[in-house]
Amino acid sequence: MEARIVSSAVFFAVGTGLVLHVRRALVRELRQVREVAGAAQNVLLRPLPPCVEGLALAAGRLSASRGASVGGDLYEVAATDHGVRIVMGDVRGHGLPAIGTVAALLGSFRDAAHDEPELPLVARRLERALDRHLRERSRTEHLTGGGAADAPPAEEFVTVLLLEISAEGEIAALNCGHPWPHLLSGHARPLTGADPLPPLGLFPLPAELPVLHCGLLLPGEALVLHTDGMEDERNAEGAFFPLQAVLTEAAGGRTVSPQALVRAVYARLTRHAGRLPSDDAALLVVRNDRPRVPAQPAESGRHARTMS
C-alpha cells in the first residue's frame, strides 16, 4: 500500500513538472509570437514622427480583433514636394484579410504621394492597387477553395480620405466615402459637410474627381481624422460615442498636444464602450505648429469652402 502511494506521488510530481514545463514553453512561444506580430504591425502602420514640416502629429488605433493592434484601418503622413499629404482609410471588416488590403493600399500611397502632382492621380493609383490586390486574392482563393478565378470578393470596399496641406496651411481634400475630419479651433466642428465620392471598390471612380479646398489650417489649429469605428461605437444603452463633444471637451478651449488629445479620446472611448470595440477605431491628430505669419486681408474667410 505504501509503495503504491509513493509511486502515485512520484507520477504526480513528474506529471506536474511536465505540465509546468509545457506551460512555460507555451507562454514563451506566445510572447515571441506577439513580439513578432507587434514588429510586423509597426512595419505596416509605422509609428508617426512627432513632427513633419512644422505639423505636430499623433495617432492611435484600437483593433476589434482581440490581441491585434492593427485591423482594417490605415493612415500615413508623407512630406512631399507637393505639400504634406495624409491618407486615412477604413477597409470593410477586420482581421487578416483586412490587414492584407491595408498593406496593399499603404504601399501604393507611399509611392504615389511623392510621384503624383495632384490628389486625383493619387486616388486613381490607390484604386488600381486595390483592384490588383482583390484580383490576386480572388485567384488565390480560387486555387485553394474553388470559386470564380477572376471575380474580386463580393462587397469589398475601402473608404479613403486624402488631404494635402501646403506650406501656407491651405487644405485640399479628396474624399471617397470616409468621415470628414474635425477642425479643432477652440471647439471641434466638421471640416466640411460636402458629400463624398463613393468608397473605392464599389464602383469605378468617376472621370472627374473634385478636390475640395477647405481654407487654411492656422497655427495652433488641429485636424482630427478618424475612422467610423469611433462615432459608431455604442454604449450599453445604445448611445453613439459623441466624438465631436469629446474633442471639444478635451481641448477645453486651449491648445493641447496631439498626444494628449489622442490619449484623452481613447480613454473616453473605452469607458463609453465598456468592452473591446465592435469595429476598428483609428485616430490621427495634425496640429499646425508653424510660426504665425502676419495676417492677410483674406484671412477672415480662411475656412470658406470652395470646389475645384
Task: Identify the CA nearest to 284 among candidates 223, 237, 242, 234.
Answer: 223
- The phi, psi pair for 112, rounded to 5°, reads -65, -35
Assigned C-alpha cell, 120: 486625383
The average pLDDT across 80-85 equals 97
DSSP state, residue 300: G
pLDDT in tens, 273-285: 887 777 788 999 9
Predicted model pTM:
0.80
* CA separation, residue 12 to residues 3, 7, 15, 107, 249 (Å): 14, 8, 5, 55, 60
Question: Which residues, at least 6 apart from 137, have a Cβ–Cβ distance to it below 8 Å?
Answer: 97, 100, 152, 153
Q: What share of the chain is helix, strand, coil (3-state, %, to 5)?
A: 40, 25, 35
The residues that bridge with 88 in the sheet, in sequence order, are 75, 161
pLDDT at 66 over 60: no
**∠ CA 238-161-152 to the nearest 5 degrees?**
85
What residue ranges in the chain does DSSP mark as E strands? 51-52, 55-62, 73-80, 83-91, 158-165, 170-176, 182-185, 187-190, 212-216, 222-226, 281-288, 306-307
**Whole-angstrom Cα distance, residue 172 to residue 35?**
38
The average pLDDT across 66-74 equals 67
Assigned C-alpha cell, 31: 510572447
Task: Identify the CA nearest to 269 among candidates 229, 225, 302.
Answer: 229
The average pLDDT across 27-52 equals 60
- Quick one: what percent of the chain has pLDDT higher than 70? 72
pLDDT in tens, 123-139: 999 999 999 998 888 88
**Whole-angstrom Cα distance, residue 159 to residue 279?**
14
Return the residue matching grid coordinates 506529471.
15
The average pLDDT across 184-195 equals 93
Residue 76 near residue 150, CB atoms below 8 Å:
no
pLDDT of residue 61: 86
